[in-house]
Homo-oligomer: A and B are copies of this chain.
Amino acid sequence: MLNFNYSIPTKIFFGKEQIQSLIGQINQYGTRILLVYGGGSIKKIGLYNKVVTLLKENNLPYWELPGIDPNPRIESVRKGIALCRENQINFVLAIGGGSTIDCAKLIAAGFFYPKDPWDLMIGTAKFEKALPLGTILTLAATGSEMDPIAVISNPEINQKIGTGHPTMAPKFSILDPTYTFSVPKSQTAAGTADIMSHALESFFSGIRSAYLQSRMSEAILKTCIKYGPIAMVEPENYEARANLMWASSLAINGLLSYGKERKWSAHPIEHELSAYYDITHGVGLAIITPHWMEYVLDDSTVDVFKDYGVNVWGLNPELEAYEIARQAIEKTKAFFVSLGLPTTLSAVNISEEKLELMANAATKHGPLGEFRPINAHDVLQILKASL
């Protein structure tokens, strides 16, 4: 197990009607609020009304930044920062899924940086502080509600970059599973794939000695495999939505990766797909992940695949290791298919044209992953196999 420094400061208010904690929490941090949200779904489910009513009743002035896109754009961040500066805003409240929360995070940090916030994403400027941020989650997927990471797109230059800093960790997040009852099937499926991908990226690690962390990754994976399909068929099944929601937060808040190296493989590849084709993150991950698995399966990795097959998919431990590994990969694919997710790049209208460009871009800072490091050539093979 590698050394690690653990700090997960975000308070979670989990369950039905936890919105009642909102004002008490805001009062600890700010008085002038920026509401950040996406499309109309929070209005449809009545959440928007609940929040603004509470703010008004408590004399908390607020300003709004609606319309945050999936794969949130740097342009929205710039707008948000301007709104905060014009109105002396001192608290940011994100209501939505990971895109909205990521956008709010960079607004909160960019507020204190006098130049263009994209500098913070590409590392030419340093994070120093951020406005306090709270979130109300409406989609179980990215885990942004409990981590310090933001992934932002800059479509003008086909870049989608993730970066993190402790100051961007939400002070609190309200997780009411009923807010996800109306999430459509396609997004429930993509969200489930996203959560699983986070657990898989941590699970498939060269640091075999972090045994406890691997078993916890399996706990997350089993939860997704059990409840993803239930939430698809019974969207208002509280137990399913609650387990998926809590899994989303725990899959990426550090718990699974502390003690391992956090060098991921499928995510950086997917970021290129989203950067060039603006596809849904979880969909891209569902396409890439099984092909990545097939590519990195070899004598040095087969034992971890065996653990995966036996502990997560319940395969017979008596079978030969490669047989277990292959069956486990097939089961992974079949599971994504059962959720209605596409399995090929062509299904999301990605052709061979830019594969090499994306493979080079994904590896421009060096090989990906530490489980079985892959370079541009490897990524290209994985992308081609995914066509």
Which residues of A approach B to under 8 Å, CB–CB? 1-9, 11-18, 21, 177, 209-212, 215-216, 218-220, 222-223, 226-227, 238-239, 242-243, 246-247, 250, 255, 258-259, 314, 317
A7 to B172, CA, bound (A): 9
Residues of B close to A223: CB separation below 8 A? 211-212, 215
23 contacts between A and B (CB under 8 A): A1-B14, A1-B177, A1-B238, A1-B246, A3-B14, A3-B15, A3-B18, A4-B12, A6-B12, A6-B14, A8-B8, A211-B227, A211-B239, A211-B243, A212-B223, A212-B243, A215-B220, A215-B222, A215-B223, A216-B216, A216-B219, A218-B219, A219-B219
A312 to B17, CA, bound (A): 35
For this chain, the copies found in one complex come to: 2
- A244 to chain B: closest CB distance in Å? 9
- Pick from B7, B16, B209, B215: contact of A218, CB below 8 A: B215
A153 to B255, CA, bound (A): 34
Asked if A7 and B11 sit within 8 Å, CB to CB, the answer is: yes
A247 to B211, CA, bound (A): 10
In the complex, which of the residues A8, A17, A227 has the most CB atoms of chain B within 10 Å of its own CB atom?
Answer: A8
A177 to B210, CA, bound (A): 13
Smallest CB gap from A220: residue in B: B212
- Pick from B3, B18, B209, B219: contact of A215, CB below 8 A: B219
A218 to B311, CA, bound (A): 11
- A79 to chain B: closest CB distance in Å? 32
A185 to B125, CA, bound (A): 52
Asked if A5 and B1 sit within 8 Å, CB to CB, the answer is: no
Interface pairs A-B: 10 shortest CB-CB: A3-B15, A215-B219, A6-B12, A1-B242, A209-B239, A212-B223, A7-B11, A216-B219, A212-B243, A4-B14
A304 to B91, CA, bound (A): 45
Asked if B243 and A1 sit within 8 Å, CB to CB, the answer is: yes
Please judge, given known A-B contacts A8-B8, A218-B219, whether A247 and B3 are in contact too, CB under 8 Å.
no
Residues of B close to A242: CB separation below 8 A? 1, 209, 259
In the complex, which of the residues A1, A7, A239 has the most CB atoms of chain B within 10 Å of its own CB atom?
Answer: A1
Asked if A5 and B14 sit within 8 Å, CB to CB, the answer is: yes
- A254 to chain B: closest CB distance in Å? 10
- Pick from B2, B11, B226, B246: contact of A15, CB below 8 A: B2
Residues of B close to A3: CB separation below 8 A? 14-18
In the complex, which of the residues A17, A239, A242 has the most CB atoms of chain B within 10 Å of its own CB atom?
Answer: A242
* Besides A209-B242, A246-B259, 20 other A-B contacts (C-beta < 8 A): A1-B14, A1-B238, A1-B246, A3-B17, A4-B15, A5-B11, A5-B13, A5-B14, A6-B12, A6-B14, A7-B11, A209-B239, A209-B243, A210-B243, A211-B243, A212-B246, A212-B247, A215-B219, A219-B219, A314-B317
In the complex, which of the residues A5, A17, A210 has the most CB atoms of chain B within 10 Å of its own CB atom?
Answer: A5
Asked if A219 and B212 sit within 8 Å, CB to CB, the answer is: yes
A159 to B7, CA, bound (A): 35
